[in-house]
């Protein structure tokens, strides 16, 4: 996977690849920014006790530069992934596992970011018209205003009701099956994990290997290691007085042949010869080629004239 900018197929412009926005580089950074936005807004609202909570949110949104985020990328294919991932990261903070205040800020952010998409531009700028949302989260989101019953959260009810009404009337939400079925694409964020090369070298060789298909780097490293071991083995000289594998093989073979009946060896030679001729006739259909039959016939004739030959069994 490459997260580096690359040229487009049409005009040769340098653009970010779509998988950049599903990688840990963007996902983790945006999650941290959403946390910072939530803390800043909570701090400002607690100190000011503003009567218009959404107006206070917009001032913090603009002061931290969030209003420029919508112009981060312009390539259509990459922009589709950018918008989808950003809206999804706001949406993931609106689950029942989060505190009500975090859900409020996430809803404010999702609403502001979605309706900040420029329209009627020249040239036209790509935008999304729907936000995928799991069914269980959609149900809990519709009942979210009813949970704002504490004195601290009651001032948010009018803004939350207005935003949800606007989103529902515009049919923004695209409902998908429950979140436990993993219906969003990609299933989990981040999908690509970026690992710095310096951290890879810092990991010792005793680290457990990851499950799955080996990378090209792992395959190349294993191939070099195997080649070096083979070269070392070939350059080694056998110890003085030691027997090689071929010597052991010849010794065991002679012992075996000495205990086998000579008629059985002749029968095996004849069977091999006949099967080889049948195979040549079937495959080549008379198109030529000796298929090694000459070597077999020569070995059989040597067995008949020499006592130290075993015919086909003498061939390597």
Number of neighbouring beta carbons within 10 Å of residue 84: 20
Task: Quote the pLDDT of residue 216.
Answer: 83
* 15 phi, psi to nearest 5 deg: -135, 160
Banded pLDDT at 40 (limits 50, 70, 90) = very high
In whole numbers, what is the pLDDT of the chain averaged over residues?
84
The C-alpha atoms of residue 103 and residue 148 are separated, in whole angstroms, by 11
The more confident residue out of 59 and 224 is: 59
Q: What is the pLDDT of residues 151-205, one digit of tens each?
A: 888 999 999 999 999 999 999 999 999 999 999 999 999 999 988 766 655 555 5
Confidence band for 130, pLDDT divided at 50, 70 and 90: very high
Which of the pair, 256 or 41, is modelled with greater confidence?
Answer: 41
Report the pLDDT value the prediction gives residue 38, as an integer from 0 to 100.
Answer: 95
pLDDT tens digit sequence for 271-309? 888 888 887 776 654 445 555 677 778 877 777 666 667
CA distance 14 to 240: 66
pLDDT value of residue 197? 66
What is the C-alpha to C-alpha distance for residues 305 and 302, in angstroms, rounded to an integer?
5
81-90, 200-209, 247-256: the lowest-pLDDT one = 200-209
Q: Is the per-residue pLDDT at 2 higher than 70?
A: no
pLDDT of residue 101: 92
**pLDDT single digits (tens) 82-106:** 999 999 999 999 998 999 999 999 9
Torsion of CA 181, 183, 184, 190, to 10 degrees: 50
Alpha-carbon separation of residue 230 from 214, 218, 225, 236, 247 (angstroms): 22, 18, 9, 10, 21
Give burial (CB, 10 Å; 0-12/13-18/19+) of 309. Answer: middle
């Amino acid at each position: 996977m490459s997260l580096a900018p690359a040229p487009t197929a049409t005009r040769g412009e340098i653009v970010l690849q779509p998988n950049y926005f599903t990688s840990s580089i963007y996902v983790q950074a945006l999650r941290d920014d959403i946390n910072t936005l939530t803390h800043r807004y909570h701090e400002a609202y607690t100190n000011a006790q503003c009567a218009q909570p959404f107006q206070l949110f917009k001032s913090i949104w603009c002061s931290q530069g969030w209003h420029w985020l919508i112009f981060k990328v312009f390539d259509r294919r990459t922009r589709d992934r950018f918008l989808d991932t950003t809206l999804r990261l706001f949406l993931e903070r609106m689950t029942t596992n989060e505190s009500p205040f975090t859900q409020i800020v996430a809803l404010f952010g999702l609403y502001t970011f979605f309706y900040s998409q420029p329209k009627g531009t020249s040239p036209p700028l790509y935008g999304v018209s729907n936000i995928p949302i799991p069914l269980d989260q959609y149900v809990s989101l519709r009942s979210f205003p009813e949970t704002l019953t504490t004195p601290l959260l009651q001032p948010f009810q009018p803004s939350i009701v207005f935003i949800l009404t606007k989103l529902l009337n515009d049919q923004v939400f695209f409902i998908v099956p429950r979140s436990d079925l993993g219906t969003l694409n990609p299933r989990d964020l981040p999908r690509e994990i970026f690992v710095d090369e310096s951290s890879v070298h810092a990991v010792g060789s005793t680290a457990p290997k990851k499950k799955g298909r080996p990378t090209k780097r792992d395959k190349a490293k294993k191939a070099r290691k195997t080649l070096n071991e083979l070269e070392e083995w070939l350059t080694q000289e056998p110890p003085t007085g030691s027997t090689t594998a071929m010597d052991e093989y010849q010794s065991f073979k002679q012992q075996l042949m000495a205990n086998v009946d000579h008629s059985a060896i002749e029968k095996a030679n004849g069977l091999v010869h006949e099967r080889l001729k049948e195979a040549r006739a079937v495959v080549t259909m008379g198109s030529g080629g000796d298929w090694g039959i000459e070597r077999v016939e020569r070995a059989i004739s040597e067995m008949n004239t020499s006592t130290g030959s075993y015919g086909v069994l003498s061939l390597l």
